[in-house]
């Protein structure tokens, strides 16, 4: 097996599993100009093939990576990983991957910073970035196939770095929504310009997500852990319902439907996952599961996937996304060391320790989870 020169990084469990970390910023192309890739400063050149240790002939299933994260969005699989660990935050590469073969189809290496998981919406890929060179929060629009940056917007004066993700993006009511530094911003997907800004005074962490159809927008924020989960109008951003929360950061959203939202809340050394009813924003009875501060719950491929590494079968399982009812234990070989990255098309992708890095492997999902 080919192994990249990587090193293991230790981070807080409640933060480490939240999203793929990517860094980068790029200039917005002018009319008639070719889209540019993200990189150092605001004028960049494309990363040459193999610059980050891989080429478009490599398969991710025959390699080891540092800090791998996988996201399925818009029918494509995207891998983010760190070709180096210094300086910190490190340069990070994002690749578009064939989910069947693992072959890398396109890659781009970004400058140091922290970026959210990618979201496909309105024909483009969207992310937020907190680049070291800028010192604020950027919303990036990328070509979903080439991963070249086609637009950017300053979305906040500072990043909400206590969540470890640098900001988040949702698509609701026909617009892009981003939780910038202490503000909620509605953005035109066509022009990448701010159309509406809603202050979130004192927020030092936040998250947001929308239902697949964009009809329900859920927003969380917190000031030193004293927070709130809200349902807001997907077009106007008006507050429709809310419920107080308490933890070390704002609740992190793992899945939204028109009926409810799953969140996870680290409370220190401990944590929990729970479903909130969308209409009232009140906790749904008997859905709360308590664990360590690394427990998480995400809705992927029509099922809820609860994960709490090293907690054994009791807290590593698939479940009914409406009720939280357990269906089957996660089918990874070692629940103490392996970690589920994402699920798509009845396939579970997970990482497993491999030398100084992590290998990416896949297995079929259990029949009860289909």
Average pLDDT, the chain: 83
Is the domain defined by 1-167 classed in CATH 3.40.640.10? no
Give strand pairing partners of 83.
none
What are the tens digits of pLDDT across the range 231-267?
999 999 999 999 999 999 999 999 999 999 999 999 9
Place of tokens 């590593």: 316
Query: Taking 50 as the threshold, does the pLDDT of residue 202 lie above it?
Result: yes
Q: Which residue has the higher pLDDT, 184 or 167?
A: 184
Q: What SS3 class is residue 262?
A: strand
Give residue 21's pLDDT: 36
Structure tokens at 113: 């910073």
Structure tokens at 268: 């220190």
Give residue 11's pLDDT: 29
Looking at 219-347, list the stretches that DSSP marks H as alpha helix, in order from N- to C-terminal side: none
**Residue 15: pLDDT band by 50, 70, 90 thresholds?**
very low
Task: Tell me the domain boundaries of the chain.
Answer: 1-167, 171-300
- H/E stretch holding 13 reads helix 13-16
**Residue 158: pLDDT band by 50, 70, 90 thresholds?**
low
What are the tens digits of pLDDT across the range 292-348?
999 999 999 999 999 998 899 999 999 999 999 999 999 999 999 999 999 999 999
Topology classification of domain 171-300 = Lipocalin (2.40.128)
> What distance in Å separates the CA atoms of residue 274 and residue 150, rounded to the nearest whole number?
37
What are the tens digits of pLDDT across the range 209-220?
999 999 999 999
Global pTM? 0.86
Give residue 85's pLDDT: 72
In the sheet with 217-223, reading across from the earlier edge strand, the strands are: 205-210, 217-223, 226-232, 239-246
């Amino acid at each position: 097996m080919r192994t990249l020169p990587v090193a293991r990084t230790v981070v807080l469990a409640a933060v480490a599993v939240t999203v793929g970390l990517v860094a980068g910023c790029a200039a917005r192309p002018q009319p008639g100009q070719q889209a540019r890739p993200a990189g150092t400063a605001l004028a960049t050149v494309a990363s040459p093939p193999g610059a980050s240790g891989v080429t478009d002939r490599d398969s991710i299933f025959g390699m080891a990576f540092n800090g791998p994260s996988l996201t399925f969005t818009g029918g494509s699989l995207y891998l983010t990983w760190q070709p180096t660990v210094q300086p910190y935050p490190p340069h990070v590469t994002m690749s578009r991957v064939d989910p069947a073969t693992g072959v890398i189809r396109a890659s781009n290496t970004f400058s140091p910073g922290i970026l959210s998981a990618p979201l496909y919406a309105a024909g483009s890929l969207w992310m937020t970035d907190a680049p070291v060179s800028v010192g604020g929060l950027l919303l990036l629009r990328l070509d979903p196939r080439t991963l070249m940056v086609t637009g950017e917007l300053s979305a906040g004066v500072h990043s909400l770095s206590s969540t470890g993700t640098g900001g988040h993006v949702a698509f609701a009511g026909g617009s892009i929504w981003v939780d910038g530094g202490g503000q909620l911003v509605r953005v035109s997907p066509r022009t990448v310009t701010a159309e509406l800004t809603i202050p979130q005074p004192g927020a030092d962490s936040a998250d947001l997500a929308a239902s697949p159809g964009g009809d329900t927008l859920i927003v969380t924020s917190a000031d030193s852990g004293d927070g709130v989960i809200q349902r807001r109008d997907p077009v106007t951003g008006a507050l429709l319902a809310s419920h107080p929360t308490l933890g070390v950061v704002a609740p992190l959203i793992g899945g939204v439907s028109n009926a409810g939202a799953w969140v996870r809340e680290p409370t220190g050394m401990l944590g929990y996952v729970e479903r909130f009813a969308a209409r009232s924003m009140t906790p749904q009875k008997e859905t709360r599961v308590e664990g360590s501060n690394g427990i998480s719950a995400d809705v992927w491929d029509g099922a809820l996937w609860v994960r709490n590494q090293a907690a054994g079968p009791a807290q590593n399982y698939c479940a009914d996304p409406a009720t939280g009812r357990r269906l089957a234990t996660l089918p990874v070989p070692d629940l103490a060391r392996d970690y589920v990255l994402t699920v798509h098309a009845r396939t579970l992708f997970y990482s497993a320790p491999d030398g100084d890095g992590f290998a990416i492997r896949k297995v079929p999902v259990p029949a009860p989870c289909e």
